[in-house]
């Protein structure tokens, strides 16, 4: 039994790290999205949208998203953020060419918001609360929530009569690339 204790301790420590998200599978392609309610872990998908992932990481490293609000949140659909103006009209000033894929929009999918033009995505993105197949192939999927979806579910909803516009919206406390997290 004494010989097994170090092995058991190592297995337990690995299990605890994995269950708390302390060790990201690929730290360079993992985001920590900290909300007041808790941490959301997003696995980025450079295999689907390399240019969008690169831009998101660039903005995260500049602390662009820290403090931004979830300005549009529709129950049963999605929570949208990434607008420095807080009303759905702003962005970082860099438009991205669409990187559409066959990846479905399901619960936890992270995808770029855009206007009517396919190549108009900038800094705004949304997280799906549920399957939204009507978006498939028309919006750039760049990630998936792998931990903390319960915290996304707690984001304050907007009024459906106002297209999800939120009064006194919840904010992103901080976003970081896991490789840079302290």
Mean pLDDT, rounded, of the chain: 90
The proportion of the chain whose per-residue pLDDT surpasses 90, expressed as a percent, equals: 84
Q: Both tokens of residue 169?
A: 């919206």
Distance CA 84, CA 94 (A): 13
Give the tokens for residue 5: 């204790």
What is the per-residue pLDDT across 112-133, written as a single tens digit (0 to 9) for each? 999 999 999 999 999 999 999 9
Domains of the chain: 23-180 (2.40.100.10)
CA dist 137 → 84, 103, 105 (Å): 27, 8, 9
Question: What beta strand segments (E) does the chain contain?
Answer: 30-35, 38-44, 72-74, 78-81, 109-112, 125-128, 141-147, 172-177
- Is the pLDDT reported for residue 1 higher than 60? no
Would you say 125 and 140 are in contact if contact means Cβ atoms under 8 Å apart? no
Cα separation, 52 vs 175, whole angstroms: 16
175 beta partners? 33
Both structure tokens of 176: 């970081």
Confidence label for 166 from pLDDT (cuts 50, 70 and 90): very high
pLDDT digit string, tens, across residues 75-114: 999 999 999 999 999 999 999 999 999 999 999 999 999 9
């Amino acid at each position: 039994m004494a010989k097994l204790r170090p092995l058991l301790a190592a297995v337990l420590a690995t299990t605890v790290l994995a269950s708390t998200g302390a060790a990201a599978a690929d730290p360079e392609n993992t985001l920590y999205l900290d909300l007041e309610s808790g941490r959301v872990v997003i696995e980025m998908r450079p295999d689907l949208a390399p240019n969008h992932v690169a831009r998101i990481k660039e903005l995260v490293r500049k602390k662009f998203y820290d403090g931004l609000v979830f300005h549009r949140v529709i129950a049963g659909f999605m929570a949208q953020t990434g607008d420095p103006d807080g009303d759905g009209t702003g962005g970082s000033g860099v438009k991205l060419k669409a990187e559409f894929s066959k990846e479905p929009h399901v619960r936890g999918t992270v995808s770029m918001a855009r206007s009517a033009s396919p190549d108009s995505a900038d800094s705004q993105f949304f997280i799906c609360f549920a399957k939204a197949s009507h978006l498939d192939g028309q919006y750039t999927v760049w990630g998936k929530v792998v931990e903390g979806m319960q915290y996304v579910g707690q984001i304050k909803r907007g009024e459906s009569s106002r297209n999800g516009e939120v009064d006194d919206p919840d904010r992103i406390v901080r976003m970081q690339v896991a490789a840079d997290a302290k």
